[in-house]
Chains A and B, each alone.
Chain A
């Protein structure tokens, strides 16, 4: 069974500093990895995905994530945090073609708080 771990319930960072939100995964075959952001009482907004290719993926709002196969990680990063980045972030994984394109499995979410 596939799974996602987000080890931090909350990440605090000062505006202008770099941020990292951690994610590790477990899935059979090649993973499809996603990051989503959720603002209060809203659905999920897509940030970025890794399917294949370059391990460093660039996404929306200046976010990027690095796929590390050996460490089974897909940490979300941003060089300079903004107060408006404060939100709940979800990492998700699904299996690839060999696993029949199974459903998305989400991590428990990490609340990012950026202080002015």
Chain B
């Protein structure tokens, strides 16, 4: 079945630095990818929808200058947390929609970001 690889699985960074998280669809082309943020014991909050070759669509309240999303190819989307602060510490999950399916979603394994 469809596989989405998310890297890194864990990252610790210092305040003020930037961190890049990659999301790759391994065996299918993903025209659309989604980035979620999950707080402890909470549901997934959609941050943005990323479409290959165009600008991402951010959800209300999500700072697009802080959470930079790039979807340069049909198999790769990246989320860069810029000038990270401790409050950005969270679990980030990407998801990709298989372009051949109207309803198929596959999730990455998530990235635990800790900003110290």
Query: CA–CA, A105 to B106, complex, Å?
Result: 14
Q: How many residues of A contact B (CB 8 A)?
A: 23
Distance A94 CA – B34 CA, assembled complex (angstroms): 14
Partner of A106, one of B4, B43, B110, B112: B43
Q: How far is the CB of A73 from chain B (nearest CB, A)?
A: 18
Chain A residues closer than 8 Å to B34, beta-carbon distance: 103-104
Q: A42-B109, A43-B108 are in contact. Are A49 and B103 (CB under 8 A)?
A: yes
How far does the alpha carbon of A49 sit from the alpha carbon of B107 in the complex, in Å?
Answer: 15
Chain B, interface SS category? strand
Chain A residues with CB under 8 A of B93: 43-44
B107 touches which one: A32, A36, A107 (CB < 8 A)? A36
A94: nearest chain-B partner, CB-CB: B103
Using CB atoms and an 8 Å cutoff, list the residues of chain A in contact with chain B. Answer: 32, 34, 36, 41-46, 49, 51, 90, 94, 97, 101, 103-109, 111
Q: Which one, A34, A43, A97, A111, contacts B102 given CB within 8 A?
A: A97
Say how far A24's CB is from chain B's closest CB, in angstroms. Answer: 15
B83-103 contacts to A, CB under 8 A, are 91, 93, 95, 102-103
Question: Which residues of chain A are near B105, meaning CB under 8 Å?
Answer: 34, 46, 104
Q: Name 21 A/B residue pairs within 8 A (Cβ), A-sorted.
A: A32-B103, A36-B107, A43-B93, A43-B108, A43-B109, A43-B110, A44-B44, A44-B93, A44-B95, A46-B105, A90-B43, A94-B103, A97-B102, A101-B103, A104-B34, A104-B46, A104-B105, A106-B44, A107-B43, A108-B42, A109-B43
Cα distance A110–B107 when bound, in Å? Answer: 19
**B77 located at the interface, meaning its Cβ lies under 8 Å from any Cβ of chain A in the complex:** no
Chain A proximity of B23: nearest CB distance (Å): 10
Contact A44 B42 (CB under 8 A): no
State whether B46 touches A103 (Cβ < 8 A): yes
